[in-house]
């Protein structure tokens, strides 16, 4: 399967006007949606930063309202990320992983554990006993999950013939839908 760069190069040989139009279309497409794995890794980094921010608030004995806002932001981001993975990325990964599809099974089980903690965090407040511990444990679950995805599953999926660009567009659109965002003009 030719890469975007190969397609753009082939179009370039057909004429300068085609080249500039194809180049703009490719650049525009890339700017709006990274490939599926890059998109998921970006999510991992963003939520990790939020866990660090929450941890700083705990150490600073910050206002419970500040802590709850960050905790709920973590929950919303993780829920959208997990839903997009479960609906789009994992089925595609399962199709290309063959005998390594147990990696997807493990990820599904990890998601289920995380969802239980997310529900508890969303239902509680930082004034509840164990609230900070629940956020901390969720962060540890997510760290473990991310290491397995990025260290094992993602490299194997990247080596496959899966169209990660199209899948990235689908994941970005689904996450935007889940988060109530839209790129369409109002």
Answer yes or no: is 186 within a domain: no
**What was the pLDDT predicted at 28?**
41
Answer yes or no: is 101 within a domain: yes
State whether 69 and 93 are in the same domain: yes
**What was the pLDDT predicted at 7?**
35
State whether 113 and 173 are in the same domain: yes
pTM: 0.79
For residue 65, pLDDT over 60 is answered with: yes
- C-alpha closest to that of 157 among 115, 113, 94: 94
State whether 84 and 168 are in the same domain: yes
State whether 132 and 168 are in the same domain: yes
**What was the pLDDT predicted at 33?**
63
State whether 23 and 86 are in the same domain: no
CA distance 183 to 169: 13
Q: How many domains does the chain have?
A: 2
Answer yes or no: is 185 within a domain: no
Tell me which residue range forms the domain holding 23: 1-32
Give the model's confidence band at 34: pLDDT under 50 very low, under 70 low, under 90 confident, else very high.
Answer: confident
State whether 113 and 89 are in the same domain: yes
CA distance 104 to 118: 20
* Token pair of 141 as six digits: 């679950």
């Amino acid at each position: 399967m030719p890469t975007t760069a190969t397609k753009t190069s082939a179009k370039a040989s057909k004429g300068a006007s085609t080249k500039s139009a194809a180049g703009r279309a490719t650049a525009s497409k890339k700017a709006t949606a990274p490939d599926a794995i890059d998109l998921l890794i970006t999510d991992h980094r963003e939520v990790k930063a939020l866990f660090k921010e929450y941890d700083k608030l705990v150490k600073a004995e910050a206002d419970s309202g500040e802590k709850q806002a960050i905790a709920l932001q973590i929950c919303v981001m993780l829920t959208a990320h997990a839903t997009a993975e479960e609906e789009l990325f994992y089925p595609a990964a399962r199709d290309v992983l063959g005998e390594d599809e147990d990696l997807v099974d493990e990820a599904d089980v990890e998601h289920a554990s995380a969802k239980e903690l997310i529900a508890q965090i969303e239902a509680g407040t930082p004034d509840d006993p164990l609230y900070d511990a629940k956020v901390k444990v969720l962060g540890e679950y997510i760290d473990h999950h991310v290491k397995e995805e990025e260290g094992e599953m993602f490299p194997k999926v990247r080596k496959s013939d899966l169209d990660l660009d199209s899948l990235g567009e689908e994941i970005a659109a689904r996450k935007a839908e889940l988060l109530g965002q839209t790129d369409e003009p109002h």
